[in-house]
Amino acid sequence: MQLTFDEDVEEFRAEFIAFLDEHLPPEAVATERPQSSSHVPAWSRAWQSTQFDHGWLVPGYPPEFGGRNATVLQQYVHREELGRRKIYESCNPQGQGIIAASLITFGTREQQQRWAVPILRGEMPAALGMSEPGAGSDLAGLRTRAVRDGDHFVVNGQKVWTSGAHDSDVILTFVRTDPDAPKHKGISVLLIPTDTPGVRRRPFASACAGDDLDFNEVFFEDARIPAENLVGELNRGWTVATGSLGHERTLLWMSFAQRLRILVQDFRPRTELDIDRFAGAVMDLQALELLGSTALARESRGEADVAALSVLKLLGSESVQRGLEAALDAAGAGGLEHPAVTSRHSLFNLEDHAPSWFERYLRSFSGTIAGGTSEIQRNIIAQRILGLPRG
């Protein structure tokens, strides 16, 4: 299947290419590397601000939020051109893609100007406080409490896996405000500045390296948060949660396709089994692009199928993981050399796209967990697409 576009979409693409040619920072400037998913080097902050000012940061947003009200097909070609040059949209992806998006959808006008715009301009890195010990994929099981006390909420509890929290200025935090409500109710969402007394962040290393500090434990001990920082309605945070994850998924398959494309370029099969598994990765890429293009065409006609996005998320994340496992096996003992470089480096992309095969494979597990685990995606597919009964 080959996508073709109307003249207005190709004009949009040409305008964006011209913008990149004129404004993309020179490589000599982009030398400082991000140290976490909320650490935004000065050059990246300036680049993000430039994109915002010209309406190219998130083209589907209105101009006041760094966009130009682009259609879904225009958003597709925008991401396609970023992929061609291996340009990652933001060094604070959860800030741009989830937190600002949630504020634009559910926040007040004042919250949008105070928080969303600085986040989008790269001036206020943000983290997402969802997972807790014992409540990872099961968000409804969260136990962090927020009790109303006058014009403040008093927050107590703990979050974990909070990516980039130690480099963030604010955490969009899901809390329980009605402990007597049913499991999926009684949840609210607060914007918690990280310099609030009683907020303590503790980064910890990943399996990739002792100095790979992105994950955090975050502790709240009688942290007083202004009631005006409540996002959306009190006790209706589940709506914000599903909306937050939904913002991730619309064109999420394109990021998995990009990783598969790079993997196919880097894969070095040696045995007949390696060649067979390599061919499997190529077919997975073609299948993902075909299904993604079909979903894109449907959405452009106003026939969006949200449940079907779970198929793309499941196929994309597991294809990347399966392909990287095959590439690691094909590399033999050399694939365990760490650190190492296994792909052409790009200053405007993330480091985790090019390290050792060992690290690339380890990092693939985040794709099958973040944004809803593979198990959750299978449940959605079973119940909402196949119509199977709940077990």
Catalytic residues: 248
> What distance in Å separates the CA atoms of residue 29 and residue 377, rounded to the nearest whole number?
41
Cis peptide before 339 (omega within 30 of 0): yes
What ranges in the chain are assigned the alpha helix state H?
Answer: 7-23, 42-53, 72-84, 93-94, 100-106, 109-111, 117-120, 237-249, 252-266, 272-300, 309-331, 357-367, 374-380
Using alpha carbons, select from 229, 166, 154 the residue that is nearest to residue 194.
166
How does DSSP assign 128-160, residue by residue? Answer: EE--BTTBSS-GGG---EEEEETTEEEEEEEEE
Residue recorded with tokens 């955090």? 216
Q: Is 354 helix (H, G, I), strand (E, B) or coil?
A: coil
Cα–Cα distance for residue pair 357/369, rounded to 1 Å: 20
